[in-house]
Chains A and B, each alone.
Chain A
Amino acid sequence: MINEGNIIKIAGPVIVADGMRGTQMYEVVRVGEAKLIGEIIELEGDTATIQVYEETAGVKPGEKVESTGGPLSVELGPGVMGSIFDGIQRPLEVIKGISGDYIARGIDVDSIDKEKKWTFEPIAKVGDKVVGGDVLGQVQETSAVLQKIMVPPMIEGTIKSIAAKAEYTVLETIAEVETDDGIKEIQMLQKWPVRKGRPYKEKLDPDIPLITGQRAQDTFFCLAKGGAAAIPGPFGSGKTVTQQQLAKWADADIVVYIGCGERGNEMTEVLTEFPFLTDPKTGNPIMDRTVLIANTSNMPVAAREACVYTGITIAEYFRDQGYDVALMADSTSRWAEAMREISGRLEEMPGEEGYPAYLASRLAQFYERAGRVITLGQDPKESSVTVVGAVSPPGGDLSEPVTQNTLRICKVFWALDASLADKRHFPSINWLQSYSLYVESITNWWQENASEEWRENRDQAMVLLQKESELEEIVQLVGPDALPDSEQVVLETTRMLREDFLQQNAYDDVDTYCSPSKQAAMLATILKFHEAASVAVERGADVKEIAALTVKEDIARMKYIPEDEFEARIKEIQEKVVTQCAEV
């Protein structure tokens, strides 16, 4: 039933309408003569409070509000990949065609192209018994993505007909399934409400690392596929570059990148750069596996509240096809602030720092949609959604509510540090504050795939870095010369760890991505230096001479050795370490 109400109050992005009895919570409505898109967020008697996803200037009391009968949903199917959408899945390229370089209001566009034809290749056969999640066929959407066309969840029955291999639009019926309630026609297009997680069979423990090619993250504070990580940091600490590095190099099949309340130029940067970068694993352009969602800081605030849900629903859809998906949300603080703004307009009783009392539960609900799962269907697959959320704490103060509530849920914490960023130590991940609770569970993977000594080396390096911070305090008081030689060697080693291992140059062609094996080899070399230097000092060698060894320069340049040469060359450096330290 289509309801029609009248606007009685307008205050920024929130409007109130009466005559709305019969509408549902979270139903999408069209507001006013401009037909702005809104969503019902409160119902009381006849009146509904609506958050409007577009600018409300010029809207008057008395104008109509039309209900649409359904909740805010995304359209899923071929045509999603490589696109850039706004917070409510309107393709920005199409909007550009309609309203030019600026986004006008009330634009009604299809989320995915309904005219475009895709080559559908059937896999299931007539007579097959199918359940939700089973694959009917596939479409090669981009060079990197083979979309599986699935039976929507909740449908179960026998295939009565299936389309032959040919070109179809997303609206054409490609299969008919005979169910208990009659025959259901299935199209390539699926709709799914954004606030509801897509179903799966079972959640698994994350024990496979999400390799990002970033040394500080992979070696020290690793993220697992299906895990959730938080990156809090003040402005200028490199959150965005860190997020973009993950979007570029993470070994996920699909990347969903949400620019939530951030800079317009950052999205442009992704749009101009990604098509020219290739995935180190497959050689395909990384744009072909990327979906972008942009609600920049000057776009309407209510759509910012919705954009993270739009993003994660798209991510879940690809997860259900059996892919490992990585979702980056930059920044979840802007999302929380959007909630706060709407809550303020509703005159709700504020919780901490003006945020609504439901902040913690909303954050938890969002991050819990991450996970490694067994998908629905008779031929279940293991797949995952990994979530990396940037947090922008005001003034860099980590005690604020968004950071604290996020840390309660995320198992990986990459603390970005302004003082490191000031020294141009990038990525500015503070090695003393950050942590990962996945180290235990992914140790096996590293030992099988990179190096047997991985865990031991990692732990030893952490101990040395911890030791350094203690020694630094003493040095501040008495100067470095007062330290015993063995401890001066520690300082030499940790300087290498910091400068030659943890620091990584995102703008260098080679250093931007570092494979797990190279990471392990680099770490082993630095620790070999520590071992050899410690031995030398013990037998009375001068620390100053060790500090002057030329092999230190070789170690400093390890990061620039290309992937295909590193094995031989790092071996040479390791030998040089041993001989030079022995000669001192």
Chain B
Amino acid sequence: MNADIKTREYTTVSEVSGPLMVVEGVEGVAYNEIVEIEAPTGEHRRGQVLEVKDDVAVVQVFEGTTDLNTLNTKVRFTGETAKIGVSRDMMGRIFDGTGTPIDGGPEIIPDKELDINGNPMNPASREFPAEFIQTGISTIDGMNTLVRGQKLPIFSGSGLPHNDLAAQIARQAKVVGSDDEFAVIFAAMGITHEEANFFMRDFERTGALEKVTVFMNLADDPAIERILTPKMALTTAEYMAFELGMHVLVILTDLSNYCEALREISAARDEVPGRRGYPGYMYTDLAGIYERAGRIAGKEGSITQMPILVMPQDDITHPIPDLTGYITEGQIVLSRDIHRKGIYPPVDVLPSLSRLMSGGIGDDKTRDDHSGVSDQLYSAYAEGRNLRDLVAVVGEDALTERDQSFLAFAQAFEDEFITQAKDEDRSIVETLDLGWKLLTILPKTELKRVKDEFIEKYYPE
């Protein structure tokens, strides 16, 4: 084998363009194989085979192609697809986007080497997620409930406080009636130092740091490296969840940067572009990340994903949020209008959704009236918001008494239900009771979404 490895080092680079490099005269190169590159300066980099045809390999270089030349750049094919060494000791450590420790601590002694692409989870092995996670945030717990094993992204816009919200969720998330704490895996893709520091400080302040594993690819790190970061993080998560039996919360931020990197590689390869220049396989690629959340029947742990993505121009129909929304199990949408009113967290409940909510709420999980209260709050707030447009035209006096009550409800809903402090941790009972309190603003006969028995049981006198 040794001789084999020797002959697999080449200096036959024929082309360098953007993030790609073409190597000729190669033999036995496998698709997706990892390559090690020695730049003329002596610096070491890594790359991955994107295409092989006869004796020509196209390689994407993770750390950028600056300084590479076609004369004496050395390329060694490792014969292995991208792997990460995982171990329990990764908790509390900080890695770069390719899985190398950057916190000055010792190297990780791997317990196992795992392929970062993973294999698709067998749908027949999955267990349907149905355990309520209390985040302490009313708009999420009450109306867009998160459950263990769900993938629920935050759709935000630039300048909105999505980081505060994500940090608050990471801090407060718990399963009611259980002592299990979440192990947090935080994967940063192309975020700024400042944003990264915000999270690190928050983890430190709350003493969570020893339960957090951080993968950090910052804005000034090579963009192509970002392709690996979420896969590194999720492979580690799978190991912790399904082999060590932990409940893992994975925060991925910012997926928009990841998609930009995908587009960059696709453009460099002259591929036929899909919408807005993003590659046609972006859906499949994103699914390869998001679908790694879940639960496995008969296994203790779980992977809950909370990806954050900044929608370009707040446009929810942009390909990145659009494709994400088709894969994830709902979305929490932050709104600039609500933010401008000074409301935190600026969650717009109307386009927000949790698809797994119905399985995680109810009698033995939260409270029997949960589903009815949530539906009622939704439809009443939607109606109130509609009426605001009408008021702008005809004035409030032209409204019927019924309509005026809906208008008042919408206002109170924003002021009391949506609004909460950054360290306010509301229990689900508090959230539901608050919902009932607000519903008293409406005529009792309008509470069509709640069953009579619950009106009798919970309607505040």
Contact = CB atoms under 8 A, between A and B. Distances in A.
Interface of A: 8-12, 16, 55-62, 84, 92-93, 95-96, 99-105, 234-236, 240, 259, 261, 263-265, 267-269, 271-272, 294, 296-301, 334, 337, 340-341, 344, 347, 350, 353-354, 392, 394-397, 418, 421-425, 475-481, 499, 507, 544, 553, 556
A89 to B, nearest CB: 14
B274 A103 contact: no
B198 interface: no
11 contacts: A10-B31, A57-B31, A93-B124, A100-B125, A297-B284, A350-B272, A353-B275, A394-B275, A422-B382, A479-B394, A553-B445
B375 A235 contact: no
Interface string B110-126: 00000101111111111
Given A354-B273, A476-B389, 10 more contacts: A9-B52, A61-B55, A268-B128, A297-B287, A298-B287, A392-B326, A394-B322, A395-B316, A397-B317, A507-B371
B28 to A, nearest CB: 5
Given A11-B51, A499-B448, A344 B271 contact: yes
B317 A59 contact: no
B123 A236 contact: no
A10 B124 contact: no
A58 B32 contact: yes
A59 B291 CA distance: 24
A462 B272 CA distance: 45
A271 B124 contact: yes
A92 B280 contact: no
Contacts of B325: 234-236
Interface residues of B, number: 82
A234 B353 CA distance: 13
A21 B55 CA distance: 22
B120 A103 contact: yes
Given A62-B28, A296-B291, A422-B351, A96 B274 contact: no
B120 A12 contact: no
A354 B317 contact: no
Contact of A57 (B29, B81, B382): B81
Contacts of B359: 269
Interface string B428-442: 000000000000000
Interface string B28-59: 11111100000000000000001111110000
Interface stretch (B65-73, B210-218, B292-300, B405-413): B292-300
Contacts of A263: 291, 327, 329
Contacts of A96: 122, 124-125
A334 B282 CA distance: 12
Contact of B280 (A55, A272, A340, A553): A340
Interface in B125-165: 125-129, 149-150
A354 B150 CA distance: 32
A145 to B, nearest CB: 20
A101 B28 CA distance: 31
B157 to A, nearest CB: 16
Residue of A11, A57, A234, A265 ringed by the most chain B CB atoms within 10 A = A265
Residue of B51, B272, B353, B449 ringed by the most chain A CB atoms within 10 A = B272
B246 interface: no
Residue of B28, B33, B317, B375 ringed by the most chain A CB atoms within 10 A = B317
A102 B120 contact: yes
A236 B81 contact: no
B211 to A, nearest CB: 25
A56 B291 CA distance: 19
A539 B390 CA distance: 31
A101 B323 CA distance: 26
B242 A57 contact: no
A296 B120 contact: yes
Nearest to B349: A422
A255 to B, nearest CB: 17
B28 A424 contact: no
A475 B390 contact: yes
Residue of B129, B271, B274, B326 ringed by the most chain A CB atoms within 10 A = B326
A58 B351 contact: no
B222 interface: no
Given A10-B31, A507-B371, A269 B51 contact: no
Contacts of B383: 423
A55 B378 CA distance: 43
Contacts of B126: 264-265, 267-268
B358 interface: yes
Contacts of A397: 317
Nearest to A94: B124
A236 B317 contact: no
Interface of B: 28-33, 50-55, 81, 115, 117-129, 149-150, 242, 271-275, 280-281, 283-284, 287-288, 290-292, 294, 296, 299, 316-319, 322-323, 325-327, 329-331, 350-351, 353, 355-356, 358-359, 371, 375, 378-379, 382-383, 389-390, 393-394, 398-400, 445, 448-449
A354 B272 contact: yes
Contacts of B356: 265
B21 to A, nearest CB: 16
Contacts of B274: 340, 353-354
A8 B121 contact: no
B122 A102 contact: yes
A146 B174 CA distance: 49
A162 B283 CA distance: 52
B377 to A, nearest CB: 9
Given A102-B120, A294-B123, A61 B54 contact: yes
Given A57-B81, A344-B280, A476-B393, A298 B275 contact: no
A101 B122 contact: yes
Contacts of A301: 281, 284
Residue of B118, B122, B356, B378 ringed by the most chain A CB atoms within 10 A = B122
Contacts of A392: 326
B329 A265 contact: yes
Contacts of B51: 9-11
Contact of B122 (A103, A341, A499): A103
Contacts of A105: 119
Nearest to B284: A301
A397 B50 CA distance: 33
A476 B386 CA distance: 10
B295 to A, nearest CB: 9
Contacts of A60: 28-31, 52
A264 B123 contact: yes
A424 B353 CA distance: 10
Contacts of A104: 119
Contacts of B287: 261, 296-298
A423 B382 contact: yes
Contacts of B117: 55, 57
Contacts of A394: 275, 317, 319, 322-323
A367 to B, nearest CB: 22
Nearest to B318: A395
Residue of A92, A354, A396 ringed by the most chain B CB atoms within 10 A = A354
Contacts of A57: 30-32, 81, 115, 117
A523 to B, nearest CB: 18
A49 to B, nearest CB: 12
Contacts of A271: 123-124
Given A392-B326, A395-B322, A480-B400, A297 B283 contact: yes
Given A57-B81, A60-B28, A394-B322, A269 B128 contact: yes
Contacts of B121: 101-103, 264, 298
A-B pairs with the 7 shortest C-beta distances? A395-B317, A297-B287, A57-B32, A298-B291, A235-B325, A479-B394, A102-B119
Contacts of B53: 8-11, 16, 61
Nearest to A57: B32
A60 B122 CA distance: 26
Contacts of A423: 350, 378-379, 382-383
Nearest to A331: B326
Nearest to A400: B275
